[in-house]
Every structure is written in C-alpha cells, then in structure tokens.
Amino acid sequence: MLPTVVFHGIVRCYAQFGVPFSWHQLSISFIESELLTFASEYFYFQSFRKSKFTNLPFGEEEKFNYMTNPGGPFSVIGAGTMGNGIAHVFAQHGFKVNLIDISEEQLKKAISTIGKNLDRQLTKEMIRKEIKEETLANITTTTSVKEGIKDSGLVVEAATENADLKLKIFKEMDETAPDDCILASNTSSISITKIASATKRPEMVIGMHFMNPVPVMKLVEIINGYATKKEVTNKIVELSKQLEKIPCVVNDYPGFISNRILMPMINEAIYSLYEGVAGVEEIDSVMKLGMAHPMGPLQLADFIGLDVCYSILNVLVDGFGNPKYAPCPLLTNMVNAGKLGVKSGEGFYKYTAGSKELVMSERFRR
C-alpha cells in the first residue's frame, strides 16, 4: 500500500495540474494503478524537461548525436500498441520516424493514439505545445516496408508475438534495408538468434524490448543474439539513454530476464485461482499490499493480454523443455474462449470504455 505521505503527495499533483479527481471513486486498485501511473509519467517528463535535448534548437539533436546514433531515419514496423508507443518516443526525442503497417486504418489509429497521449501530457503540463507539434511532424506513415526502410539506420520490428511472422518480416527487412542498418526486434520472448537466422547479417540483429506503456516505462531490455556485434550493442545502449530510458543488456535465452521471471509468477497466480487457493481479489491484494506491486498479477495479465502470456509461456516450455512453464489449463481455456483481458473487454476483470473502476469478472465472483 502507498505510504500516507506519498498518497497525499500524488493527490496534490492531481490538484496542481487540474486533473479531475473524485474521492468517492477511490479504491486500493485505483490508487495503486492510476495514481502510480500518473506519478511515473510526471517524474519521467520532468526528467525529459531537464534533458540536454530540450536546450538544443529543434532539429539539432541528430547533429549532436551523430557519433552514437545509427544513421538515417528510424523505422518502426507494426503500428499497434507497442509500435505506436516506440514511434512516439523516438519522435518526441527529435528523431524522424517511418511508422509502417500493412493496414492504413491501423496507421490512422496509431497517429490518433499518439496525438491523444500527447494531449494528455499537454493537459498535465508535462510537455509544451510545440513538443506535441514537433513530435507529430517527425512521424511519417506508410504501408510499404520497402519504402519505409530503404534509407533507415535502424528498423525496430514491433509486430505480433509470432515467430513465423517475425522471421518473414526480418527476411524482408534484410533484403531491403541498407547494409549498415541495424535490425532490432521488440520481441518479449522469441529468440533473437532464431530471428537473426532469417537474415544474412546476424551480427546486425539485436533485441530492443520496450515495456508498455512505452512513453512512461523507463526500461529497455536489450538482447544480444549469438552473433550480435559489440558495436551494435553499444549503439543501441547509447540510443536508449538518449531516449531517456535505462538499458539493461541480457543474453539470448528463452524469456530473456523480464518474462523468464514475470510469466511463471503470473502462471502461478492463475494456478492458485484454478486450484481454489484464493480468489482473484485476494491473490492480487496479497501481491499489491504485501509485496508492494503496483498491480496484482491477474490484473497485470489482463493488461498484457492473456493470449500474449499464453504464447510466452509456450516459448519457455519449448525453449527449456521443462513442463513447469506450461500454461495453466484455466489460462488455456480463457484464451480459447476469447477472454483475453483489457483488449477483449474481459479477462479476470471486466473492462468498460471510459471507466477506470476495477470490476471482477462474474465468472470469478464467489
């Protein structure tokens, strides 16, 4: 639970920035998820305000960083939640970005999402109006991979977490991108070495695993494939720092570090529910109040997407050959039933557009 002094401090932040706040809507989950999210955003953008980039004329960042940045514009393949978040962060830090998706409709949705997120930051006085305008001006959209990456110094793939799809995309990236272009994947679990095998430049392939929501979360998990050159790793580390992120370099084994630790915890929480050890609210409350987690494991699974959790657990099973990572039968059933969490409107909790109230799914009410 939040200490009283921290709680009141965050509430004062809401009041200072004129964010609508209703006392009768308060709940433990609301305080620990919504207010902590706001606090994270506040301190992140205060840091951004003080960065060296804000003291440079717009457009000068690339000149300042030419020694460490990959050349050319950056490209992001995939305009979903992670892709538009990555494009947002690159563009907000002064880099030109080509955002690529096969769906024109998805690209329009991505730009709308980025605009709304910038408006949210603007309303809270975390950024200036010109930062919003410059950010949007830095993003170009296209449905053509060939056109979108032909001059790129770095391409970040952020497509669906599917190995076959990623291998296909990397083969196309390798055939089209300049020879000195770094090819990165935002995969959260699929082997970078396997992805690199689809290319003729495995030494230029690396994992660049951002966390969701990308504009807020500070971590970038950087994954070295078997053949990744040290120079490539160093460039991505420096670039991550320029994005006001904290890079952590790990080696290429199933789940890397983040999901090798996180997914078994989530799976065990689902098993605890499945076996009747405790209910949804009790499981999440124990982890929030006892372990200082801002979000319980079942709510977090809903946020990540139960289908994503299922896929990552299967990657761990296949990679280690150890049945201890096998998805809980309850998780398998929920995925098969289309109950995927926030994205489908229901998982362990129910989600209604425009509502922040945490409501348990009727399926799990006692």
Q: Identify the H or E element spanning 248.
A: strand 246-251
Instruction: Report d(CA 46, CA 115) in Å as an integer.
Output: 20
Q: Could you give the angle at the alpha carbon of 293 between the alpha carbons of 114 and 282, nearest 5°?
A: 115
Catalytic hit among 188, 191, 240, 272: 188
Choosing from 29, 65, 185, 259, the catalytic residue is 259
Give how far Cα 292 sits from Cα of 37, 177, 189, Å: 14, 45, 26
Residues linked to residue 349 through DSSP beta bridges, in sequence order: 360
Q: 């892709």: which residue's tokens? A: 83
Give which of 6, 27, 37, 41 is closest to 284, Cα–Cα: 27
- 259 classed as catalytic: yes
191 CB-contact burial (10 Å; exposed 0-12 / middle 13-18 / buried 19+): buried
Using CA atoms, how far apart are residues 319 and 268, in angstroms rounded to an integer? 19
| Sign of the four-CA dihedral 30, 214, 99, 184 | negative
Q: Catalytic annotation on 221?
A: yes
Q: Which position among 34, 41, 221, 281 bears the catalytic label?
A: 221
CA atoms within 13 A on the CB side of 168: 7
- Determine whether 203 is an active site residue: no
DSSP output for 149-174: HTT-SEEEE---S-HHHHHHHHHHHH
The active-site residue, picked from 29, 34, 98, 209, is: 209
Nearest-angstrom CA–CA distance, 331 and 234: 39
Picking from 248, 199, 259, 261, the residue whose alpha carbon sits closest to that of residue 226 is 199
What does the block give as tokens for 258? Answer: 């983040």
Annotated catalytic residues are 188, 209, 221, 259
